[in-house]
Every structure is written in structure tokens, then in C-alpha cells.
Amino acid sequence: MKNQIFSIYLIFTYLTIFTLSCEKDTTADPDNESELITTVSITFTPSTGAAKSFKWTDKDGAGGLAPVIESIVLASNTSYIISTTFLDESKSPAENITAEIQGESDEHLICYAVSGSVPAVQVTDQDKKKNPLGLAGTLKTTTAGNGSIKVSLKHMPDKKASTPCSTGETDVEVTFPVTIN
């Protein structure tokens, strides 16, 4: 009899020990966000003259060090071709993520919101499904003045919606101050 009781206790104890699992996760991948965007670079190419690039950079993510924001300086009454690139500069060498956005173009949308004296940006490129993408565009300045351009990268937007830029999840949203001389 005593043995019977003892074996029941033993079975339940083993059952417990085997089901109590506590293995430590050994894969060293503390953040899992292995691919991030630290930098937005926007290049303005005038019809005549040299192209100029401006960067918005935050290498250490939210919090910590403040981002470094370059001011965009443009000439008045000039047509520009815009090209926007996204970089991960936390790695060395820096990784260009623009190509990957291009690869998943139907799932992304780059939106430009302007304020002040800055004229609207016309998106010129298209995604795989012939909907706007926004990595390329044009802008034609008129009078001199100040303002800003807000560049957003939307993930999984509804490009058929009336305002596609207010759908989807925002992966990037940066604002550049702009001076038009």
C-alpha cells in the first residue's frame, strides 16, 4: 500500500517537473527590429544647376539624442525633380532601404504635406499596380518665403481611399523646415 501511494506522488511530481519548463532563450536577438530607418534624405535637382540633398537623421531611435535636421534651402521660380531615399545609418556601412520599398511598392506610399510658401509636391512614380508611390516627384517654387515639408512613409495604405495618406500605418514621419530665397 505504502508503495502505491509513493508511486502516485512520484508520478505527479515528475509530471510537474517535466511540465514546468524554464529554458532560457539563447538566441541573441535583443531587439528583433533588425531593420530600421534612421535617415530620410531628400534630393532636389533643379532644371539647371547642381542637385542638393538634405537629411533628417536620428541614429539612436526615439528618446536619447535629439535628431539632426537639415534645413532645405531652395531658389524661387525654379522647377525641381525630387527623389527621396531611406537609409539605415545605425549599421556600418549604412544600408539603403529605398530599394526594398521599391520592391514592396504596392504596400507603401510616400506622402508630402507642405505648409507656408512651399508649393505642393506632385508624385510622378507608380507602384506595381499603377497607383502612386512617391519616391519621385516634382516641385515648382514661385515666390520667396518660409515653410515646411512633411515626408511620411505609409505602410499598407488603402490607395483607393479618398485620402490615401490618412490610411495605413506610419513608418516614417519627418518634417523639414524650408526656406525659399
Partner 1 sequence: MNVSGILSFKYGCFLGIMLLFSNYLAGQEFHTSCSLNVKVAVVDPQGKPLAYVNVGVLGQSIGGSTNEEGILIFKNLCKDNYAFQFSRIGWGQDEITFLIEKDTSILMVLRESGIMLDKITVLGYGDKIGKTTIKEVLDLEALRSTMGFGLAESLKQLPGVQTLNTGASISKPIIQGLHSNRVLILQNGVRQEGQQWGSEHAPEIDPFLSTKIQVIKGAGSIRYGGDALGGIILVEPPPLRREKGIDGELHLQGMSNGKLGILSGQINGNHSFGNLPVSGRIQGTLKNGGNLHTPDYFMNNTGVREENFSWMLGTEKNNLNSTFFYSRYFSILGILRDAHIGNLTDLTNAIERGRPLSDGAFSREIGRPQQQILHEFFQWKNIIDLQHDGHLEINLSRQFNRRKEFDAHRNFGTLPTSLENPNILFEITTYRGEVDLEHNWNANFHGHIGLAAMQQVNTTDRGSLIPDYSQWTGGVYYTLKYKKPTSLWEIEGGIRYDMNRLRIDDLNPKLQDFKQNQFQGFSGTLSSVFHLSTSGFLVFQTGSSWRTPHVSELFSEGVHHGSASYEKGNPYLEPERAFNNSIHFEWKEGKFKVQSTAYYNWINKYIFLSPQREAVLSIRGAFPAFNYNQSNVSIAGLDGNMTYSLNNHWDFTFQAAMVKGRNVTENDFLIYMPTNKVQLFSTYYLNAKENATHSFIRTQLTHVAKQGRVPADFDYALPPDGYFRVDIEFLTHIENKFFPNIELGIALNNATNTRYREYLNRFRYFIQEPGRNLVVRLRIPFGHS
Number of residues that bind partner 1 (CB under 8 A): 55
Q: By CB under 8 A, tell whether 164 contacts partner 1.
A: no
Q: How far is the CB of 13 from partner 1 (least distance, A)?
A: 8
Position 129 contacts partner 1 (CB under 8 A): no
Interaction between residue 47 and partner 1 (CB under 8 A):
no
What cell does 25 get?
Answer: 532563450
User: Is 75 or 156 the residue whose CB approaches partner 1 more closely?
Assistant: 156
Min separation Cβ 167 and partner 1, Å: 6
Residue 5 found at the interface with partner 1 (CB under 8 A): yes
Does 170 participate in binding partner 1 (rule CB under 8 A)? yes
Nearest to 145 by CA among 85, 54, 72, 90: 72
- Sites for partner 1 among residues 9-38 (CB under 8 A): 9, 12-13, 15-16, 19-22, 24-25, 29-33, 35-38
Of 70, 95, 107, 125, the one binding partner 1 (CB under 8 A) is 107
Using CB under 8 A as the binding rule, whether residue 65 contacts partner 1 is answered as no
Rg (CA), the chain: 26
149, 179 in Cβ contact below 8 A?
no
Residues that bind partner 1 (CB under 8 A): 1-2, 4-5, 8-9, 12-13, 15-16, 19-22, 24-25, 29-33, 35-40, 56, 58, 61-63, 66-67, 97, 100-101, 103-104, 107-108, 152-153, 155, 158, 161, 166-174
